Homo-oligomer: A and B are copies of this chain.
Amino acid sequence: MDIEKVIGASRGWIEREGHSILNEYRELLSLPNHAADLPNIEKNCEFISQMFAKRGFEMRFLRLDGAPPIVYGERLVPGATRTFCIYAHYDGQPVVPENWTHPPFEPTLYDGAMPDGGRPIPFPSSAEAIDEEWRIYARSASDDKAPIISLAAALDGLEAAGIGLTSNIKLFFDGEEEVGSPHVEAYLRTFDHLLNDITAWLLVDGAVYPTGDPTYKFGSRGRTALQLTAYGPARPLHSGHYGNWAPVPGQTLARLLASMKDDDGKVLIDGFYDSVIPMTAFERSQAEQAPNIDEQLKEELALHSTEGGGESLNLRIQLPSLTLRGLASGSVGDKARNVIPTTAVAELEMRLVNGNDPDNMCDLVEAHIRRKGWHIVYEEPSLETRRSHKKVIKVVRDSESFPASKVAMDRPEIQEVINGLKAFTKDRGVFLPATGASNRIYGLIFNEIGKPGICINTVNRDNNQHGANENLRVGNLWYGADILSVLLAM
């Protein structure tokens, strides 16, 4: 691949046809796209299907009852030995129109970001130069319709420059990502005959690294969670009449929670780190080379110090986490009352890495709880059970549990992609072994159908994804076209 020629093709097309790219984008963004709004969902499918049919794809809708269709497409390249499947989602978060400056499905162009004093401007004519700092405000402008438009522009640019595709390309556009993709597992299984020749999935979603550098991730953490309920007296007690006699469940629970983690964030549960499959030397080197954003984040988040004694965020997320995401007993603030509450509840969440089995990790937590003298129950304990044990705790495991999904960055077909990407990014790319988050799609692709995935982030970080005034920086739409051109032609 002649990288300069490929980028030249992308940029040349953008320079000549930027206004028509924005026009197609505007039309797509005008279609309301909440997953539950099936009539409008169908309009999105039609529009996208026609977009790629025009560009040489054989398109079809994969359908399961009651679910938004998968917009599926394939373009086979004679002689290609590799098949990439591009994943994006065309549905969006629900909107609260009164919180938006403009109606969320009337895409509005700005000459800069609103908080920086940007002002609305008309969409450009063909003669007009387009500034990369312009923003388009609309629902799904960044999450996740931008990659669909970038891909179309990349295909057009390569075509115009006479550069052929080097891989078979499949499209798999999800219509219910923002409601948790409840049918995607069934889709992957039902239509596996279409998917089992895929070399690697390219998941194009999410924002670039805080430095703005191109970002690629080769896995995501798994997840599991436990709800703990500690029991005190059977009814709320007057804290005067019974204080210093009746056990206080929040206090007892605090002692248990304190025993799980030290002041530097090290998890003290026996075996918690034992099943971790360590990063390879290559992976570690990539994680270490990523720009260290810790100081910037600490400033932004008003943190004096972090867990792990100063180890960087990029390394810390390659380990399992134990997070107390919720805690409640009695009431606080204006609602605080003079009572000894009956229960105290802690919501513990774990993010998992390669090697961690969700059930085993929960078992370790329960073993720790038992070692601390607690009697564990899995349903509401009877009064008799409460009378029979000094410390009774109910443990409820979260149904949303899945292991990490990470492809080894050392695998040859992945190395090939990494080398291609590095030709593009030069010394600026961020290659992270895994994101700290838990991507369900990623997990299904990797763990259920055994295919590697690479996350490609293209949109600007300040995109207000999920909120009001979601937007895309135009330069990031162009950047998406560049990187997809490279992947198509590598």
Contacts and interface: CB of A to CB of B under 8 A. Distances in A.
Interface of A: 220-221, 223, 225, 227, 231, 233-235, 237-248, 250-255, 257-261, 263, 265, 298-308, 313, 316-317, 319-333, 335-341, 344-347, 349, 351, 373, 383-384, 386-390, 392, 435-438
Given A252-B263, A336-B326, A246 B303 contact: yes
Q: Which of A240, A306, A336, A349 has the most CB of B within 10 A?
A: A240
Contacts of A333: 227, 326, 345
A455 to B, nearest CB: 13
B245 A317 contact: yes
Given A246-B306, A304-B387, A240 B351 contact: yes
B327 A246 contact: no
A301 B238 CA distance: 13
A101 B13 CA distance: 80
Q: How many copies, total?
A: 2
Nearest to A350: B243
Contact of A323 (B220, B305, B340, B436): B340
A277 B157 CA distance: 87
Given A231-B302, A241-B437, A327-B330, 13 more contacts: A234-B301, A240-B436, A241-B435, A246-B307, A247-B306, A254-B258, A302-B384, A326-B330, A326-B331, A327-B328, A327-B332, A328-B329, A336-B347
B254 A300 contact: no
Nearest to A400: B338
A302 B257 contact: no
Nearest to A330: B326
Given A240-B437, A325-B341, A383-B302, A307 B247 contact: yes
A240 B223 contact: yes
B332 A240 contact: no
Given A339-B325, A341-B325, A388-B304, A436 B243 contact: yes
A337 B347 CA distance: 9
Nearest to A299: B387
A388 B305 CA distance: 9
A302 B388 CA distance: 9
B325 A330 contact: yes
Contact of A251 (B237, B246, B313, B324): B324
B332 A347 contact: yes
Among A227, A299, A313, A330, chain B packs the most CB atoms within 10 A around the CB of A330
A401 B440 CA distance: 52
Nearest to A304: B390
Contacts of A390: 304-305
A299 B386 CA distance: 10
Nearest to A384: B302
A98 B455 CA distance: 59
A481 to B, nearest CB: 26
A376 to B, nearest CB: 15
A231 B313 CA distance: 19
